[in-house]
Amino acid sequence: MVYAPALALNQVTGFNLWASVFATGIVCTFYCSLGGLKAVVWTDAFQMVVMIVGFLTVLIQGSNHVGGFNNVLEKAGNGSRLHIVDFDVDPLRRHTFWTITIGGTFTWLGVYGVNQSTIQRCISCKTEKHAKLALYFNLLGLWIIVACAVFSGLIMYSHFKDCDPWTSGVISAPDQLMPYFVMEIFATMPGLPGLFVACAFSGTLSTVAASINALATVTFEDFVKSCFPHLSDKLSTWISKGLCILFGIMCTSMAVVASLMGSVVQAALSIHGMCGGPMLGLFTLGLVFPFVNWKGALGGLLTGITLSFWVAIGSFIYPAPESKTLPLPLSTEHCVELNITTTVAPQISSRPVLADTWYSLSYLYFSAVGCLGCIAAGIIISFLTGKQRGKDIDPLLIRPVCNLFCFWSKKYKTLCWCGVQHDRETEQDYLDSGSAWKQGVESGLQNGLKQDTLAQIPGYNPKEKSYSNSVPEKTTYF
């Protein structure tokens, strides 16, 4: 995410690429370490506005530049750019209805379901209702951004239909196409290319800052506080800031790796799949399968990571053949010939057996591979090493999804519970009431507090199902 806007700034201003990368990383780390989660949330909200304004500016000027939006759709249709639905079931095809629906579901479940930066924002909301509203607004914003990106691509195709700058060698990477397009359509409008650069950097700052904050929070809460439980408030604050700086340096350094991974969008979704898939599988084991023990969970996680990284790294080394990616033709018929020296990549004489099968798997399936591999390995290892006893598990920690399929038979429903006592009335009512929100990570929930006990807790509002900060306690510093 740091590498993408650096490309834009380099194309627009000629500013050194790596200087831009490190400047972005320094800015993200600075305000994240000083302001914490509150700074991240407020800057994200402002940056969202900047992104939309930047996109709309490009869309309006770009469509006017190519003769109107109807002309854009006509040229895109003639160039087969509007062929949206492809029901080919081949998992090696890059983008089809099935890869986007199935693979995309696993990928985005990993992002919204178990990703720390997302969950951290949700639990910072006052109530469960507020958290749901935040996710709905996020979905709306995501739809707007994706729609703007798609229409920007169609406008760029209409503009460069007869002279593709990447194929002709004018630009060195596909990710430079948008900045190059902006420089052309705003050539006579000083200042507006800067708005586009601000738009690109807004997306980076929001994503990187949230990731830095999430990494620092998890490290401090799960490792530092566990090893040193009696830290003073002042020392905890300094450790928190130090962790933000450390992870900021690491995230900035990863931009070097991103530059070697091809398309920025594909690289970002591939990394999300590689890391988020196994984590999604681990959480699924914990929430859905009560008989899985710690050995199965650990073995499943390692198996999922191994599988997802194996297929992803293999796909980077041995890219899928064009017969699977099916790139659409690009024309250079009306380009002015330039004296440009091109470097031809060395051809690999032999490809391993897995290069055209396993390594050619669509990048959208990386998350599914990691998730399903983790679940399968975790179940098998748990059966081999001895299942977890269901009666020793708090029912609040297991989601009985089998109730959806065995609603017609209490006998089979109870059998699928694997010994977990979901029929205990007080706890089940407690779960259904939704009051587990916010309290779910506290020791009171683990002890199975009843509703009347909850009502007596200072700061608890039973109508809003929320807690105020009326009770002084040691909190995190992010």
Per DSSP, the three-state class of 169 is: coil
pLDDT in tens, 48-96: 888 888 889 889 999 998 888 899 999 888 888 888 788 889 898 888 8
pLDDT, position 416: 76
User: Does 382 or 18 have the greater pLDDT score?
Assistant: 382
Which residues pair with residue 466 across a beta bridge?
461
Indicate the helix (H) or strand (E) that contains 467: strand 466-467
Lowest mean pLDDT among 20-29, 160-169, 284-293, 425-434: 425-434
Lowest mean pLDDT among 144-148, 213-217, 252-256, 283-287: 252-256
Q: Is the pLDDT of residue 462 over 50?
A: yes
User: Does 378 or 343 have the greater pLDDT score?
Assistant: 378
- Residue 36's pLDDT band (cuts 50, 70, 90): low
pLDDT in tens, 275-317: 899 999 999 999 888 889 999 999 999 999 999 999 998 988 8
- Residue 469's pLDDT band (cuts 50, 70, 90): very low
pLDDT mean across residues, the chain: 79
- Residue 12's pLDDT band (cuts 50, 70, 90): low
Alpha carbons within 13 A on the beta-carbon side of 127:
12
pLDDT in tens, 170-183: 887 777 788 888 88
Q: Is the pLDDT of residue 247 over 90?
A: no
Q: Is the pLDDT of residue 472 over 50?
A: no
Q: How many residues does the chain have?
A: 478
- Residue 413's pLDDT band (cuts 50, 70, 90): confident
Q: Angle of helix 128-159 relative to helix 69-78, nearest 10 degrees?
A: 70
User: Does 367 or 117 have the greater pLDDT score?
Assistant: 367
pLDDT, position 468: 47
